[in-house]
Amino acid sequence: MTSVLDSQLSKDFLIQTRALSKSYSGRKALNDVNLDLQKGRIIGLCGPNGSGKTTLIKILVGLLRDYDGEIKINDRHVGYESLPYISYLPDTTYFEKSMKGTQCIALFEDMYQDFDKAKMLELCKLLDVNPEDSFKIMSKGMQEKFQLALVLSRNALIYLLDEPIGGVDPASREKIMNTILSSYAKNSLLLISTHLISDIEPVLDEVIFLKNGSVELHEDCDTLRQREQKSVDAYFREVFR
């Protein structure tokens, strides 16, 4: 049986979903989500807590399998086939507290052929993180910056970043966004989940608004600003107030 996506797939789209839905105990976390996301774009996945952002990203990564609808990742089904293309930053710390940064780096070297250790060490310097430290003595912000550096040190086709600036102080956010902008592979797709739109708006090409699990808006940022005569952040506040 031919799927909807088989007939609509374009080589320029690294992520495509059709009628993607996910429920928890009868409550819709995602509702009929249709997306076509191109390579070479930085896209903001924006919405308040509980809007479905993390659920969507976990499905794209393959961490959640019980869903309805269709997904293609670089023309592959989600799972073993798609994993090599995705570099994923979760919204939580996932390393053991006793592990040193150097041990985490060695783990990524073993796991990912596209991991660049020299780039990782350079990013640690830029982000003021000491890879010799263990996670138990790093602050939450330092842990998040270290994990971000690991993710950006892969030469991936798709980067999925779930709240990359949510746990750091405002003074560090600009530095982190500049690091992201200068470090990811430019012909890839970068999807950033956040509710802090004002901090990431300057780097965005497109924005997706998720509201109660549904796509409220998916639009080019310049087009949106021109039409509404306001910033993406201001329009977000208007839609979700």
What pLDDT digit, counting tens, does each position of 3-12 carry? 555 545 556 7
- The pTM assigned to this predicted structure is 0.92
Range of the domain at 169: 4-240
Give CB contacts under 8 A, 24+ apart, made by 3-9. 3/70, 4/70, 5/70, 5/71, 5/72, 9/72, 9/75
56 has pLDDT over 60: yes
The conformation of residue 140, written as its DSSP 8-state character, comes to: H
73: Cβ–Cβ under 8 A, 6 or more apart, which residues? 14, 15, 60, 81, 82, 85, 86, 158
Place of tokens 């507290």: 97
pLDDT band at 1 (very low <50, low <70, confident <90, very high): very low
Of 222, 173, 225, 224, the closest CA to residue 194 belongs to 173
Summarize pLDDT for 5-52 with one digit per residue, the tens: 554 555 679 999 999 999 998 899 999 999 999 999 999 999 988 899
137: Cβ–Cβ under 8 A, 6 or more apart, which residues? none
Summarize pLDDT for 124-161 with one digit per residue, the tens: 999 999 999 999 999 888 898 999 999 999 999 999 99
Average pLDDT for 113-129? 94
CATH assignment of the domain containing 208: 3.40.50.300
Whole-angstrom Cα distance, residue 172 to residue 226? 30
Number of structural domains (the chain) is: 1
Helix 101-111 with 117-126: angle, nearest 10 deg? 150
Of 15, 33, 34, the closest CA to residue 73 belongs to 15
% residues pLDDT > 90 (the chain): 71
Average pLDDT for 200-215? 94
Place of tokens 């330092």: 142
Q: Rounded to the nearest 5°, which phi and psi values hold at 17?
A: -130, 150
Average pLDDT for 204-229? 96
Residue 210 and residue 45 in contact, taking contact as beta carbons nearer than 8 Å: yes
